[in-house]
Amino acid sequence: GSSLEPEERSMEPPAVPEEEMPLTAASGPGGCQLFGYVGIEAVLDQMKIKTMKMGFEFNIMVVGQSGLGKSTMVDTLFKSKVSRKSSQPGQEERIPKTVQLQSVTHVIEEKGVKMKLTVTDTPGFGDQINNENCWDPIIKYINEQYERYLREEILITRKRKIPDTRVHGCIYFIPPTGHWLRPLDLEFMRRLSKIVNVVPVIAKADTLTLEERAEFKQRIQEDLKTNAISVYPQEDFDQDPDDRVLNDRIREKIPFAVVGADQEHQVNGKRVLGRKTKWGIIEVENPAHCEFPLLRDLLIRSHLQDLKDITHNVHYESYRVRRLNESNRP
């Protein structure tokens, strides 16, 4: 019963058991392999320790008419008294005849991380009968910060760490009219979106019903698209596919309908930030009541470094190229 055909033998080398295979940590595009643990990932810990020691800078600007809750919103955003009105209590508030820019700087520390926060307010914007060219002082201030950084950068002997006073984000407060964007709003965002990251928000959204708020947001999105106004996060700067998916979800929500509050109230045995009305308490950090958590996550928790990177690599870079071309022109 045995077969007379010769036995077929495989020409492949015998398989090596798994325990005898060399340990491969990573394989690069060039085919380079790491046999065993090297410790390259420790560079992340080094960067974290260095950043915690040095701290970092973050500069924001709030723009809008008086009475829209700009100072309250900034205090709510950082859960501390960092706005212009909070740092100068007791002063009588008067509407200035022209747009004035006032900056307040604080050092905020959380879990060992230090942040030098600068908040720039623009009292007088949009409060006059004739608001022609009321954005000129704001554009001048932003360009002055770029110019200051450029002068420090082109020095032969420059500082090891150049002080960064450039505006990383501009929060623009839209009045809750429930109609369309005003010509002032369109002109401001059209001009400012070219030199700074503009994040529009609907101020005091608790004055609108949910239906009015949804319709108002849709009209604002149509106005921005019709006038080719690109607010943050811009579609042109999405490099990674994952970032594009996240930013698309954010763009669907813009402008954020926000409510600010600086007082705590008791709700179901918990202390929450909110505004007390006859019908109940509007919880600021409750996504069912307003979109303030989305604004906070965008500015601080998910896109803070991206705001700084776009400011440096896009807006400041375009200003630097323009200024150097002007200086080299005969």
| pLDDT at 1 (0 to 100) | 47
pLDDT at 190 over 70: yes
Average pLDDT over residues 216-221: 94
| pLDDT at 299 (0 to 100) | 92
pLDDT at 324 over 50: yes
For residue 121, is it within any domain?
Answer: yes
For residue 63, is it within any domain?
Answer: yes
Q: Cβ(220)–Cβ(227) under 8 Å?
A: no
Per residue, what are the HEC states of 283-320? Answer: ECCCCCCCCHHHHHHHHHHHCHHHHHHHHHHHHHHHHH
Q: Please, what's the b/e burial string for 155-191 (b: 16 or more CB within 10 A of its CB; e: otherwise)?
A: eeeeeeeeebbbbbbbbbbbbbeeeebeebbbbbbbb
**CA-CA distance, 114 to 112, in Å (whole number)?**
6
pLDDT at 10 over 50: no
For residue 193, is it within any domain?
Answer: yes
For residue 116, is it within any domain?
Answer: yes
* Tens of pLDDT, residues 260-277: 888 888 888 888 888 888
For residue 15, is it within any domain?
Answer: no
Give the rounded percent of residues in the chain with a pLDDT score beyond 70. Answer: 86
pLDDT at 201 over 80: yes
**What are the Cα distances from residue 299, in Å, to 1, 181, 250, 281, 292?**
82, 23, 12, 25, 11
* Tens of pLDDT, residues 130-184: 888 889 999 999 999 999 999 999 998 988 889 999 999 999 999 998 888 999 9
CATH number, domain containing residue 217: 3.40.50.300
For residue 241, is it within any domain?
Answer: yes
For residue 31, is it within any domain?
Answer: no
**CA-CA distance, 193 to 172, in Å (whole number)?**
11
Please count the structural domains in the chain. 1
* Distance in angstroms between the alpha carbons of the first and the last residue of the chain: 101
**CA-CA distance, 269 to 93, in Å (whole number)?**
37
* Tens of pLDDT, residues 268-321: 888 888 888 888 888 888 888 889 999 999 999 889 999 999 999 999 999 999
The pTM for the full model equals: 0.83
* Tens of pLDDT, residues 50-59: 888 788 899 9
pLDDT at 5 over 60: no
**CA-CA distance, 194 to 171, in Å (whole number)?**
15
For residue 180, is it within any domain?
Answer: yes
| pLDDT at 216 (0 to 100) | 94
Q: Which domain holds residue 277?
A: 46-80+96-328
